[in-house]
Chain A
Amino acid sequence: MVGTFTAKLATQAEAFEMLQSDGRSLRVGFENDRLNEIRQGQSSGISIRAVKGGNIGFSYSSNPEELDAVAESAIRMAPYGKKYDYEFASESKSAHTRPYDERCGNLNPDQMVAICNHIKDTVKAIDSEALVDCGVSGGIGQSRVVTSNGQDCGEMESSFSFSVSLRLAEEGNFVQDYRYGIANEIIPEEKILAEAEEVAREFQLARKNAPFKKGKYPVLFAPSALSDILMPIAVCINGSTIEKKVSPFVESLGQQLFDKRITIVDDPFIQEGPSGGLYDGEGVPTQKRGIIEKGVLKGFVHTLSTAKRCGHEPTGNAQRGVSSLPNPGLHNIVMAHGDDDLEEMLKKTEGGLYISQMLGTFTSNFLAGQVSGNISLGFLVDGGQRVGRVKNCALNVNAFDLLKSGVIGISKKREWVGDRYLPYVLVDGVQISAR
């Protein structure tokens, strides 16, 4: 059907790109210590970018049967659309393979309920008062991109995820903590339970408050908080901020912007990475690429459009849902480990903070390098140990300055935080505001 349709579309539009996707998923969710919901989802969609009169029109429908209506709408939109000043993807096959676990599409709800029960039991054995929300979900899907330039690529996707969230409301003290994991294959139960145990132990520690005054301190960022600190870099190497020249890094390729110990790679092929893929949202084969190597800025991430406008090569970083236009984005962010032992780093954090979670940092002025927000889960470090939670304090740091001249140590140990594989980073001289 698609072949007949695209042949017809080729006669109506000067160029086109069609994206089709469909998928199904299953989720078991516990809320407030009990099984709450079994959720089953099915979704599909088709979108078309069509060029007419040198401009691009775009249209989308959740009904894959509406091919003709979507094409007609895209062509009708074209006179108003963006200029077609690049080429849709041409024929090119990825040389890589992608992990695909078909078991993610055949999950048994009873087994998922059992895993959630085991998560709850694991937490309760450590802290019986914690209220547990948790969930396990999985699904499979497929996507296909066809262009008038000869590209016709598709791939199967599988995903599996879990989440564990603990909370306890006491007068004057709410404690919350969580962990989650995403992978493109089933995550073994023992690994999920190990995460549940770890979060329960951190939660217990967080129930005790520690006194804290405003001032400058060494701060050990756990991978979950480092992820926030890296946001300004992710925004400022993004092709859309480069194209519009609002990024401070426009002229900085090849420059030493950060500490020599900092290396960041965008890796769509790393086995455990959930955001991998063989092709990006425009059908361009993806690449493993250095973004920062030993502190030197090495690359930006582009769609076909931003690459063309910046005079750069496409990078295979177009990200999109089927209903939206592509934007540049990183796949899996992998930061190189350092040489430091985590226990030694904790000792060096003496009198300072171990920050596990930040709140509301997404509202920061990332283009200026700022990261600001409430420290929603931070611990005072004393005698090489986390001794209690600090509350009612906030930070507002310039991540570019911090990662250039404030780094004391980077851990050997790394952890996955969603699609980011990050170490612990110890920095000095962080101004913490407190009441």
Chain B
Amino acid sequence: MKEQLTELAKRAEADYCEIRVEDSRQTSIAFRGQDLDNVQESHMFGGNVRACVNGCWGFVTFNDVSTVEQRVGEAVRNARAAAAASVEKSVLAPVDAVEDIVKLDLKSDPRKVKLEDKINLFGAYNQRMLDKSGVTSTSLRYFDKYTRLYFANSEGTWLDREAMDMGMGGSAIARANDTTAAGSTSEGGRNDFDRFRGLDAKFDEAAKNAIEAAQSEVVEGGSYTVVCDPHLAGVFIHEAFGHLSEGDNVAEDPRMQEVLKLGRKFGESYLNVWDTGLDVGLRGYLPYDDEGVPTQKTMLINEGELVGRLHSRETAGRMGEKPTGNARALNYRFPPIPRMRNTCIGNGPHGKLEDLIKDVKLGIYAIDSAGGQTNGELFTFTAGQAFMIRDGKLAERVRDVTLSGNVFDTLRNITGIGGDFYVQDGAGGCGKGGQMPLPVSHGSPHIRIKDVVIGGK
């Protein structure tokens, strides 16, 4: 494989060429209510060729690896056709060629756990939620995915890389007074199946949250001070700032470059934000990105000041900056684009939850995330659960709390950052350009934000 792919990539008549071949096997288990809804084994095998000529790309995917030579020709032809109408020069930032073999280093291997045992483990969690009075239904899904990935490019990089990815998400659905509400829990990671054991308390909590949320009122709309738990704060920094930091937003947009000029003040001096591929065991761990670039910890905001962004080789080259190892592809059917890995807000000086809420007269404590979306400037995300804060204390539970805001205002409006940093992985992932769900992580301590718009009655 190595000789064939490396030779083909080098021989390609293009400014740059890369070939990716991917072989993955996934086991999936899903429960819905009382049913074991799905037990599935999947096998995906295929590859792609990406060629660049004069800054334009030809990209071809295939399932039949015996046709790879023909596909290289097609990718080059497409890149040349695109380049015919272009006066650009290819500007991929230079990187050193690497040759590496990355083997799995697992604490506990999901492939060594019998399928029956996995079904029994997750089935018991599902039943635990169903047994709670008031829970009308549940959903629980688990997957583990082993991937072997071969990568060769025309500059001599060769990678033979193994990866494992695991995730689990469970939800209880409760109904009361004609209202339905959910409570959820999740777990995930790359190197340890045992993290899925001993989670009874988390599933009990999910069921309790669903039951109580169904009995609570919809939040009253308005502008509030919101304290976010580490999970929601992690989703916030991913949605609200991480996407904005991705190089393809900026590289060819002079006005955006003005707005996102390095050195610009984005928040208070205690705001530190980074994205890293180096956290072994997290779903956002990535030794090499999908252009074969070693990953790193990339500071984005240092003491409130913008200091970096997330690059592919192309976006780094266009901006005269260094690649950061953020070019990622969901699988061989997609080209790599700048994406996050593990995106974090660092610890701040404001203690714990109690310290952050004690001066809040009327606010909301928002916990966990039901997902979110951004369009660059504006964002929306929904809390998994929420409580009112009244006179510095946690008060009644409210439901359907959706936080909306403007990225720039909101970063400036972070008025407190706790010291209880935490990363919680799950089964979901990030979506961009039709590539979803890409495994990412996010972490943060508790944070406090003023003037957040909450939609409500």
Contacts of A59 in B (CB 8 A): 40-42
Please, which residue of chain A has its CB at the minimum distance from the CB of B180?
A: A367
Contacts of A37 in B (CB 8 A): 56-59, 82, 335
A43 at interface, CB cutoff 8 A: yes
A41 at interface, CB cutoff 8 A: yes
**Contact pick for B86, options A34, A73, A109, CB 8 Å:** A34
Contacts of A360 in B (CB 8 A): 371-373, 379-382, 402, 404
B456–A434 contact, CB under 8 A?
no
**Binary per-residue interface labels of chain B (60-100) against chain A in the complex, 1 for a CB within 8 Å, 0 otherwise:** 11110000000000110011011001101000000000000
Report the bound CA distance from A61 to B57 in whole Å.
29
With A37-B335, A59-B42, A244-B136 as known contacts, state yes or no: A110 contacts B60, CB within 8 Å.
Answer: no
With A77-B40, A82-B36 as known contacts, state yes or no: A435 contacts B223, CB within 8 Å.
Answer: yes
B221–A433 contact, CB under 8 A?
yes
**Binary per-residue interface labels of chain B (29-64) against chain A in the complex, 1 for a CB within 8 Å, 0 otherwise:** 000110111111111111000000000111111110
Contacts of A38 in B (CB 8 A): 56-59, 78-79, 81-82
Segment at the interface with A among B250-258, B273-281, B290-298:
B250-258
A214–B32 contact, CB under 8 A?
no
**Binary per-residue interface labels of chain A (381-401) against chain B in the complex, 1 for a CB within 8 Å, 0 otherwise:** 000000000011111100000
Report the bound CA distance from A73 to B44 in whole Å.
14
B380–A169 contact, CB under 8 A?
no
A54 at interface, CB cutoff 8 A: no
Nearest CB of chain B from residue A162's CB, rounded to whole Å:
15
Enumerate B391-417 residues with CB–CB distance to A below 8 Å.
399-400, 402, 404-406, 408-409
With A40-B74, A167-B376 as known contacts, state yes or no: A325 contacts B40, CB within 8 Å.
Answer: yes
Report the bound CA distance from A109 to B333 in whole Å.
20
Nearest CB of chain B from residue A308's CB, rounded to whole Å:
13
Contacts of A174 in B (CB 8 A): 375-378
Contacts of A373 in B (CB 8 A): 373, 380, 402, 404, 455
Enumerate A1-51 residues with CB–CB distance to B below 8 Å.
28, 31-44
B218 at interface, CB cutoff 8 A: yes
A370 at interface, CB cutoff 8 A: yes
Please, which residue of chain B has its CB at the minimum distance from the CB of A397?
A: B455
Nearest CB of chain B from residue A137's CB, rounded to whole Å:
11
Contacts of A363 in B (CB 8 A): 370-373, 380-382, 402
Report the bound CA distance from A434 to B451 in whole Å.
10
Enumerate A62-104 residues with CB–CB distance to B below 8 Å.
62-63, 66, 69-70, 73, 76-77, 80-83
Q: B43, B75, B379 — which one has the most chain A CB atoms within 10 A of its CB?
A: B43
Contacts of A73 in B (CB 8 A): 41
A66–B43 contact, CB under 8 A?
yes
B454–A433 contact, CB under 8 A?
yes
Please, which residue of chain B has its CB at the minimum distance from the CB of A358?
A: B380
Enumerate A176-199 residues with CB–CB distance to B below 8 Å.
176
Report the bound CA distance from A312 to B372 in whole Å.
36
Enumerate B160-216 residues with CB–CB distance to A below 8 Å.
173, 175, 178-182
A63–B63 contact, CB under 8 A?
yes
Contacts of B455 in A (CB 8 A): 372-373, 394-396, 433
Nearest CB of chain A from residue B434's CB, rounded to whole Å:
11
A339 at interface, CB cutoff 8 A: no
Contacts of A365 in B (CB 8 A): 180-182, 399-400
A256 at interface, CB cutoff 8 A: no
Report the bound CA distance from A81 to B123 in whole Å.
12
B137 at interface, CB cutoff 8 A: yes
Q: B181, B218, B453 — which one has the most chain A CB atoms within 10 A of its CB?
A: B453
Please, which residue of chain A has its CB at the minimum distance from the CB of B370?
A: A363
**Contact pick for B378, options A69, A325, A367, A374, CB 8 Å:** A374
Contacts of A60 in B (CB 8 A): 40-43
A34–B88 contact, CB under 8 A?
yes
Report the bound CA distance from A73 to B456 in whole Å.
49
B173–A61 contact, CB under 8 A?
no
**Binary per-residue interface labels of chain B (221-237) against chain A in the complex, 1 for a CB within 8 Å, 0 otherwise:** 11100000000000000
Please, which residue of chain A has its CB at the minimum distance from the CB of B249?
A: A169
Nearest CB of chain B from residue A307's CB, rounded to whole Å:
15
Please, which residue of chain A has its CB at the minimum distance from the CB of B255?
A: A169
Contacts of A39 in B (CB 8 A): 57-60, 78, 335
A392–B406 contact, CB under 8 A?
yes
Contacts of A362 in B (CB 8 A): 371, 373
Contacts of B180 in A (CB 8 A): 246, 248, 365, 367-368
**Binary per-residue interface labels of chain B (108-130) against chain A in the complex, 1 for a CB within 8 Å, 0 otherwise:** 00000001100100000000000
**Contact pick for A396, options B175, B182, B409, B457, CB 8 Å:** B457
A394–B35 contact, CB under 8 A?
no
**Binary per-residue interface labels of chain A (96-134) against chain B in the complex, 1 for a CB within 8 Å, 0 otherwise:** 000000000000011001000100000000000001000
Contacts of A325 in B (CB 8 A): 37-38, 40
A288 at interface, CB cutoff 8 A: no
A374–B379 contact, CB under 8 A?
yes
B404–A394 contact, CB under 8 A?
yes
Nearest CB of chain B from residue A254's CB, rounded to whole Å:
19
Nearest CB of chain B from residue A310's CB, rounded to whole Å:
13
B259 at interface, CB cutoff 8 A: yes
A323 at interface, CB cutoff 8 A: yes
Q: A42, A66, A240 — which one has the most chain B CB atoms within 10 A of its CB?
A: A42
A245 at interface, CB cutoff 8 A: yes
A80–B382 contact, CB under 8 A?
no
A168–B39 contact, CB under 8 A?
no
Contacts of A33 in B (CB 8 A): 252
A376 at interface, CB cutoff 8 A: yes
With A44-B63, A246-B137, A365-B181 as known contacts, state yes or no: A170 contacts B85, CB within 8 Å.
Answer: no
B402–A364 contact, CB under 8 A?
yes
A396–B456 contact, CB under 8 A?
yes
Please, which residue of chain B has its CB at the minimum distance from the CB of A377?
A: B375
**Contact pick for A62, options B44, B371, B382, CB 8 Å:** B44
Report the bound CA distance from A194 to B177 in whole Å.
49
A172 at interface, CB cutoff 8 A: yes
**Contact pick for A35, options B62, B82, B370, CB 8 Å:** B82
Enumerate A344-371 residues with CB–CB distance to B below 8 Å.
359-365, 367-368, 370
Contacts of A176 in B (CB 8 A): 375-377
A367–B81 contact, CB under 8 A?
no
A424 at interface, CB cutoff 8 A: no
Q: B44, B380, B399 — which one has the most chain A CB atoms within 10 A of its CB?
A: B380
A169–B335 contact, CB under 8 A?
no
A431 at interface, CB cutoff 8 A: yes
Report the bound CA distance from A113 to B84 in whole Å.
11
Report the bound CA distance from A62 to B115 in whole Å.
22
What are 24 A-B contacts defined by CB distance under 8 Å?
A34-B88, A38-B78, A39-B335, A40-B59, A59-B41, A76-B41, A77-B41, A80-B115, A81-B39, A113-B82, A170-B255, A171-B259, A240-B32, A360-B380, A363-B372, A365-B182, A368-B179, A368-B399, A373-B402, A391-B406, A392-B378, A394-B380, A396-B219, A433-B455
Extra A-B contacts (11), CB below 8 Å, given A109-B78, A363-B371, A363-B373? A40-B61, A63-B43, A63-B45, A66-B43, A83-B35, A117-B85, A360-B382, A368-B400, A370-B400, A431-B456, A435-B223
Listed in ascending order, the chain B residues whose CB lies under 8 Å from chain A are 32-33, 35-46, 56-63, 74-75, 78-79, 81-82, 85-86, 88, 115-116, 119, 136-137, 173, 175, 178-182, 218-219, 221-223, 248, 251-253, 255-256, 258-259, 333, 335, 370-382, 399-400, 402, 404-406, 408-409, 451, 453-457
Which 4 A-B residue pairs are closest in the complex by CB-CB distance? A360-B380, A396-B455, A174-B377, A433-B221
